Amino acid sequence: MQDSRVSCSKLYTMKTFFSTLFLLFTLALGYTQNQTFKFSAEVSFDQKIMDQVQETGRLYVFLSQNHNAEPYTQTWPSPAQKTFIFAKNIDPINTKEAFTVGNDAEWVSTADWSLEEVPSGEYTIQVLWDQDFSESRINAPGNIYSTKQKVNIDKDSQLDLQLSQIIAPRMVIEHELAKVVELKSDLLSEWWDKPMYLKAAVLLPHNYDASKAYPILYNVAGYGGRYTRINNMLGNTYAMNWWQSGTALEIITVFLDGEGPFGDSYQMDSDNSGPYGRALVEELIPHIESTYRGTDSPTTRFVDGCSTGGWVSLGLQLYYPDVFNGAFSYSPDAIDFEAYQLVNIYKDQNVYTNEFGYPRPVMRDVNGEPMLSLKEFIQYENVLGYSNTYLNSGGQFSAHSALYSPKGENGLPKPLFDPQSGDIDREVAEHWKKYDFTLYAKENWAELGPKVQDKIYIWMGDMDHFYLNPATRKFAKFIEETESPKSNALIEFSAMEGHCSQYSPPIVLDKVGQRIQEIEGQKEKK
């Protein structure tokens, strides 16, 4: 019989060997994962599209860890799937032969590393040439991009990338009930001293009769939504079967366009973008309704939306109380600037860091877990802006600056806060008060209050992903305390609900239908 001590000794030796081997493998793997490598690319334009290339623009390089999407569409700083963006302006760009994209001091980036020290890993690579100056965002028709390539960065890498794909013009699906409106705005054209156009898509009701007068709903999208979102309806067989079944409310739905010079126009007048509010109510609405509606009565004219659309729908009802007869606002952007998300712009010193010295989050999950800091979010907009700041990024804070701020230098809005340090400009904060809904309503309630009775519905989740509920709470507190008249605005909060989680077009149409019945009932009493 074998000595058990010898057997145990051999077993111990084998276990030690494999443990050591596993440790070395783990250390080696960790070392590889923490390594960085140089990256460069030879970029050229496809000769077939040379006649469509402009020499002035902004070049973007995308390194994405989301392999299922076009990297150039991943401009949102997703906490889960990172897309790192590098950008720089070029004038002129080399269109005749390949040029090298690599490490130099001119790049601005969302990453905390340069192209000379790319962390090892698997990326999807893409470049985009933003040559369009007529729209505010990089997904504009006419911009040129390369096909995406997947690459494993485990050594110094050099790729060949060709700018060959052109972003196609926007199109609305053809349907007998769908109409596209493109109207030259005299107000905006005069303000900008160049032709400016307003766009919208109109969805007519089942068995549309041009001789009838219809109620009408103006739908405002979430941030940056375009008029082409009507395709979401037109391309949905179930939705269109319902719309044409005779059971849907017979109402005209207008999908407003969110595009503006600095991002979403918010459908309101501003010192930087011009008279978008007046253009809507004095030009676009009369044009649409004289063409399709059969009446220009505000009695059955409504507005709805969620997020940015929530802010706009409520804002249009407050600032144009005689034009609309009901606003259905879901998860509106901050409507009180004492709670501009988590920032009190009138008292706080810095947007990036709170009074306790902690970085401010801009996004959370419904359990309250922070997902993204405001500083990280703004850095994405800094990279997307031609000025290397958020002021003309086409993003959310670009649009807010254009809407709320006075004019600044070089044709840009004056920033509320410094793009790098986050320090707040108190003078600019004072200028923002004109669109603080609580302040506006307080100052004008004697005249405004009677005009908005029965017209305001707001829904907000109390775990809004973007911390928008505190501002709505402040506005709701004012509404509760109103007198002469006592407001009957309906403001609902849902516990443990996130951003726009209870918004849906059928629900809104049901509420609009109820509102129409109330109006008809009031007529009968008179």
- Its domain, for residue 227, covers 178-337+435-525
Confidence bin at 23 (pLDDT 50/70/90) = very low
Contact status, residue 82 vs residue 91, Cβ threshold 8 Å: no
Closest C-alpha to 36, from 135, 112, 124, 119: 119
Whether the upstream peptide bond of residue 505 has omega within 30° of 0, thus cis, is: no
List b or e across 196-231, with b for residues whose CB sees 16 or more CB atoms inside 10 angstroms: bebbbbbbbbeeeeeeeebbbbbbbbbbbbbbbbbb
Q: How far apart are CA 136 and CA 396, in angstroms?
A: 11
pLDDT for the residue 165:
98
Segment holding 401, helix H or strand E? helix 396-404
Does residue 153 fall inside a structural domain? yes
Do 430 and 449 fall within a single domain?
no
Confidence bin at 27 (pLDDT 50/70/90) = very low
Contact status, residue 434 vs residue 403, Cβ threshold 8 Å: no
Last residue of a domain, one of 413, 434, 455: 434
Q: Higher model confidence: residue 103 or residue 144?
A: 144
How high is the mean pLDDT of the chain?
93
Does residue 80 fall inside a structural domain? yes
Q: Is 340 helix (H, G, I), strand (E, B) or coil?
A: strand
Q: How far apart are CA 83 and CA 125, in angstroms?
A: 10
Do 346 and 269 fall within a single domain?
no
Q: Is 416 helix (H, G, I), strand (E, B) or coil?
A: coil
Q: Is 126 helix (H, G, I), strand (E, B) or coil?
A: strand
Does residue 18 fall inside a structural domain? no
Q: How far apart are CA 251 and CA 289, in angstroms?
A: 12
Does residue 19 fall inside a structural domain? no
Confidence bin at 1 (pLDDT 50/70/90) = very low
Do 331 and 474 fall within a single domain?
yes
Name every residue whose Cβ is closer than 8 Å to that of residue 194 and which is 6 or more positions away in sequence: none
Does residue 29 fall inside a structural domain? no
Q: How far apart are CA 237 and CA 231, in angstroms?
A: 11
Name every residue whose Cβ is closer than 8 Å to that of residue 466 and which is 6 or more positions away in sequence: 341, 362, 363, 499
Contact status, residue 314 vs residue 229, Cβ threshold 8 Å: no
pLDDT for the residue 3:
42
pLDDT for the residue 15:
45
**291 — alpha (psi -120 to 50), left (phi > 0) or beta?**
alpha
Do 372 and 461 fall within a single domain?
no
Do 296 and 265 fall within a single domain?
yes
pLDDT for the residue 28:
43
Does residue 26 fall inside a structural domain? no
Q: What is the pLDDT of residues 349-362, one digit of tens each?
A: 999 999 999 999 99
Contact status, residue 447 vs residue 321, Cβ threshold 8 Å: no
pLDDT for the residue 526:
66
Q: 246 is written with which tokens?
A: 């005779």
Give me the residue label for tokens 């519905």: 457
Q: In the predicted model, is pLDDT for residue 347 greater than 70?
A: yes
Confidence bin at 10 (pLDDT 50/70/90) = very low
β-bridge partners, 88: 59
Segment holding 182, helix H or strand E? strand 178-184
Do 289 and 243 fall within a single domain?
yes
Q: In the predicted model, is pLDDT for residue 16 greater than 80?
A: no
Does residue 172 fall inside a structural domain? no
pLDDT for the residue 284:
98
Last residue of a domain, one of 434, 466, 492: 434
Strands (E), 3-153: 36-37, 39-45, 57-64, 83-90, 99-101, 108-109, 118-119, 121-130, 144-146, 149-153
Name every residue whose Cβ is closer than 8 Å to that of residue 155 and which is 6 or more positions away in sequence: 37
Q: What is the pLDDT of residues 302-325, one digit of tens each?
A: 999 999 999 999 999 999 999 999
Tell me the DSSP string of 434-496: GG-HHHHHHHHHHHHHHHTTT-EEEEEETT-TTS-HHHHHHHHHHHHH--SSPP--EEEEETT
The bridge status of strand 83-90 relative to strand 108-109 is antiparallel
Q: In the predicted model, is pLDDT for residue 294 greater than 60?
A: yes
Closest C-alpha to 394, from 261, 267, 272, 266: 261
Do 283 and 197 fall within a single domain?
yes
Last residue of a domain, one of 112, 145, 166: 166
Do 311 and 239 fall within a single domain?
yes
Do 191 and 318 fall within a single domain?
yes
Question: How many domains is the chain built from?
Answer: 3
What percentage of the chain's residues is helix, strand, coil (to nearest 5)?
35, 25, 40
Segment holding 166, helix H or strand E? strand 157-166
Do 471 and 346 fall within a single domain?
no
What is the domain-level CATH number for residue 187?
3.40.50.1820
What is the longest distance spanned by two Cα atoms in the chain?
110
Other CB atoms within a 10 A radius of the CB of residue 57 amount to 22
- Phi/psi for 201 (5° steps) reads -120, 140
Q: How far apart are CA 265 and CA 466, in angstroms?
A: 20
Does residue 30 fall inside a structural domain? no
pLDDT for the residue 374:
98
pLDDT for the residue 12:
41
Q: Is 174 helix (H, G, I), strand (E, B) or coil?
A: coil
Name every residue whose Cβ is closer than 8 Å to that of residue 205 and which is 6 or more positions away in sequence: 177, 214, 243, 248, 249, 250, 251, 252
pLDDT for the residue 429:
98
Do 478 and 363 fall within a single domain?
no
Q: In the predicted model, is pLDDT for residue 522 greater than 50?
A: yes
Other CB atoms within a 10 A radius of the CB of residue 475 amount to 25
Do 46 and 79 fall within a single domain?
yes
pLDDT for the residue 446:
98
